[in-house]
A = this chain, B = another copy of it.
């Protein structure tokens, strides 16, 4: 397009009519962040000087120090670490391998791009496990043919549902194969598990992510393969009498190690004992830089603190900025955070997490009492100019769940546009270069606006 003189607007003009003070303050938030925002530079530091930071790893320990040092420079009233123990799973970076080794008993080596799943254990020997493949579309097929599973490696080729507009719905649907697929196959005697990656990308990068063993069954090795390789393997399985595959993984579960949540605080002037929590999780997977998951949530959190300080905002309630430990594998950081609130007799009035990526903001999902929706709907026009006005019912982030469980705290999460998220999620492409500066900053604008509104009016 060349046209330079038209006047089409992506977002409607700022709504001054309904609440002039609020729309003016939110415009100040937006102007300051879009001009002076530091989230992108901070994300560069986190991703490029530390990189992947699996909870329990030395990189995670570095990230804790970086988070504290960064908060320290930002002028919070208080910055501290909240110690907790985290599980210590290691991939043992010797290379996860999945390969076809023979077709119809004729040797044929076809390596597939694969990652061991998080928490999955290494194969008994360095040469891995080699066995016949048993390919199924879903759990129904597994159950139907359970008698044939023994001694085989089960391959779940379950696809993301393409017709869901929100890719998170497809993830919620497919995720059980990654999470529980190994033990469900081991129950029938399978000796290994391969899963189609939790993605709808056009590339072949595999996607790792947590799995969980059911202690009643043998703990078999589990790996994810890329989508193109999954299609290839599925086709091969359909066309062949027997396909043999090898899985070689090196995962180990070591004793728990100390870690911490990193916390900064702005003290409330009117209700200091009432706590608004804003957070993201500091840990990531080890195969990438944890840029969108959840580096962007970390720097969103820092940006909200920065802008409130820059605008001289003094909150009524205490606002706590939290970088949670180990969202990916255990949720122990979040559990600790909520438990300590309880111990101290504090009152959490709102829990917010950004953990759905740093893509352009669409809105928020809220888990709040039904009667709160009237208030929220009245706020929506204030968010329209900044792209974040799609307020929908749903959950908060994983790290605010303990607040819900212990206190029934209203929670929310940022909903960035979801189309690109599962292209990069838990894969090697979740790197700084795949984050867009303005999209990231615009997310922070909407979050800061929401925190401001909740602090001012309650929920």
Contact = CB atoms under 8 A, between A and B. Distances in A.
Given A360-B417, A362-B387, A390-B12, A6 B395 contact: yes
A171 B328 CA distance: 41
7 contacts: A4-B179, A6-B172, A8-B413, A10-B362, A11-B390, A34-B163, A360-B417
B166 A5 contact: no
Interface in A402-418: 413, 415, 417-418
Given A10-B415, A365-B9, A398 B1 contact: yes
A394 to B, nearest CB: 3
B163 A5 contact: no
Given A167-B438, A200-B438, A438-B200, A328 B2 contact: yes
Interface in A153-183: 162-163, 165-169, 171-172, 175-176, 178-179
Contacts of A163: 30-31, 34-35
A327 B12 CA distance: 27
B395 A172 contact: no
Nearest to A353: B1
Given A328-B2, A398-B2, A438-B200, A387 B7 contact: no
Given A360-B417, A362-B387, A209 B442 contact: no
A12 B363 CA distance: 11
Interface of A: 1-12, 30-31, 34-35, 40, 162-163, 165-169, 171-172, 175-176, 178-179, 200, 202, 209-210, 293-294, 327-329, 355-356, 360, 362-363, 365, 384-387, 390, 392-395, 397-398, 413, 415, 417-420, 423, 425, 436-439, 442
A449 B40 CA distance: 36
B327 A209 contact: no
A166 B10 contact: yes
Contacts of A385: 165
Nearest to A331: B2
Contacts of A386: 165
